[in-house]
Amino acid sequence: MKHPTATIAVFTFGMISFISVLASGNENTTPSLLLGGAFLISLLTHSIIVYRKQLDPVSYLTTMYFVYAFTLPGIYQLRTDTFYWYNNSVRRDLLIDAAFITFTGTLALMAGISTTKLGRLFGTSFGSTGASTARPMPAKRYDRKRASIASFVISAICLAFIILQLAQKGPLVFFGTREMANLLLSGKDGDSGSAFVKTICSAMALTSFTITGIVRYWAGIKNSLTKVSIIASVTSLSIACFPTSLPRFWMIALAMTVGLVLIPNVLRRKKGIFFASGPIALFSLFPFLSSLRRGENLDASFEIKNPFDYLLHGDFDGYQSMINVVVLVQNEGFAFGGRIISTVLFFVPRSIWSGKYDRTGAEAADSAGYLYLNISMPLPGEIYADGGIIITAIVLFAIGRLIGTLDSIYSSPGMTLGSIPLSSISILIAGFVPILARGSLISVIGGPAVAISLVAAWSFLYRLKIRRT
């Protein structure tokens, strides 16, 4: 079932937001119009995603970020000439450059996504019943025993590692507030790796749950090993992804993963309601989650904030980071692939690789003269710093195509040999896509990398043949 009512609501809300923000001031007309073009292209793609039968979770969250967390706040900051970080240090002479890079990158990304959707806008995925196919699906094409053993091994390894870290780092790291967990982790003799270990635990728990959930509920494998795997993965999730200690983007990943694994049909039937309520959740739930886990104790007080004031918050610093990356390139030149290589090889310590790049957002902020460097860097800025505007357009178009492909994998009917690992990856990337889009990539790639590695390990174990002597 398509969702015309929800689509009209989403598009109307977006246009009202756009007109309101555009009319909020009269500064910086040219860059505002460029960002406005990026906003409208993103909103149109976002509306197409909402209209379609298929769930398209990766595309939805990607376009959601570009519409409401990147371009819309950028327009408001331009029209009011107010920026969150070191307002007086912002290079006003580079506003048009940053807006043009944002427009070009956004256009390429949305074109990549749209080309995977428009051809099937009135049809179904893979020329069949597509996303309307009910779960669970038969597992007759699988070796049930090997799939169960592989899932059991992965879930057992994840649970063992998480319990070991719980014993070593203490329960407050996992069950306290996020601020308390950060203080405890950073206080262990300056061990910066402790925070990454917590990230590894969260990624392992999400991946274990995703794989075992698909094996049990999608493929319908209900033997004893699978039941034990489910118990182990839920236990891992309860420890490593306890909500009070998670960053907000990890809470999105947790909610998306659990929902996409356990209730795909509910999400599909109620897609219009869930997707239309996205902006409301962003501007109300995000500030609440931020205050909930600050300090040593939970603060569950809820305060309705002015959305315009929130658009000037550090959560929406994407456009300001785009200005900074122009400064970075002017000062240091393009990295010519060095940043993406550093991201892929994020696990290599700088003591071994002295030329490894730091977070792009931090380097750009430092180049712009900021003292606080924990600043984001959206995808267009990441790629621009590596190779310029043409490379940005080409790479983001390819990423858009990949995003559409991941959606098709999730919505495709039937279980084939590659369905469990590929569906797992599509679900996990859907959860991680907001933080990947916001960046900086090298600081957030660890979780997705661990998740994909575990999925690859499951595939290896499934295909592993043990010789009997």
pLDDT single digits (tens) 348-369: 988 889 889 999 999 999 999 8
Better pLDDT: 107 or 250 = 107
| Residue whose C-alpha is closest to residue 452's, from 416, 422, 412, 408 | 422
Question: What percent of the chain has a predicted confidence (pLDDT) above 70?
Answer: 86
Q: Which residues of 271-292 are buried (b: 16+ CB within 10 A; e: fewer)?
A: bbebbbebbeebbbbbbbbeeb
Average confidence (pLDDT) over 1-18 = 90
Residues 383/343, Cβ–Cβ less than 8 Å: no
Let me know: does 91 contact 55? Beta carbons within 8 Å.
no
What are the tokens at 348? Answer: 């290599």
Asked if pLDDT for residue 444 goes beyond 60, the answer is yes
Average pLDDT value over all residues in the chain: 86
CA distance 340 to 9: 38
pLDDT level of residue 310 (50, 70, 90 thresholds): confident
Higher pLDDT, 373 or 23: 23
- In this prediction, residue 31 carries a pLDDT of 97
Q: Pick the residue with more confidence: 218 or 303? A: 218
Using the predicted structure, report yes or no on whether residue 260 has a pLDDT greater than 70: yes
Q: What tokens appear for 437 in the block?
A: 């889009």
Note whether 387 and 32 are within 8 A (CB): no
Of 95, 451, 23, which Cα lies nearest the Cα of 240?
451
Cis peptide before 243 (omega within 30 of 0): no
Q: What is the pLDDT of residue 295?
A: 52
pLDDT number for residue 74:
96
Q: Does residue 200 have a pLDDT over 90?
A: yes
Query: What pLDDT sits at residue 170?
Result: 87
Higher pLDDT, residue 426 or 272: 426
pTM of the model as a whole: 0.88
- The gap from C-alpha 314 to its chain's centroid, in whole angstroms, comes to 18
Sign of CA dihedral 261, 266, 272, 278: negative
CB atoms within 10 A of CB 3: 20
Least confident of 115-124, 215-224, 244-253, 404-413: 115-124
Give the DSSP letter of residue 467: P
- As a whole number of angstroms, the distance between CA 103 and CA 403 comes to 19
> Does 122 have pLDDT greater than 50?
no
Q: Where are the domains of the chain?
A: 4-130+316-397
Residue 237: which pLDDT band, with cuts at 50, 70 and 90? Answer: very high
Q: What is the pLDDT of residues 19-74, one digit of tens each?
A: 999 999 999 999 999 999 999 999 999 999 999 888 899 999 999 999 999 999 99
**What does the DSSP assignment read for 296-355?**
SS------PPPHHHHTTSGGG-HHHHHHHHHHHHHHH---TTHHHHHHHTTTS-TTT-TT
Residues above pLDDT 90, as percent of the chain: 57
Q: Residue 20 phi/psi, 5° resolution?
A: -65, -45
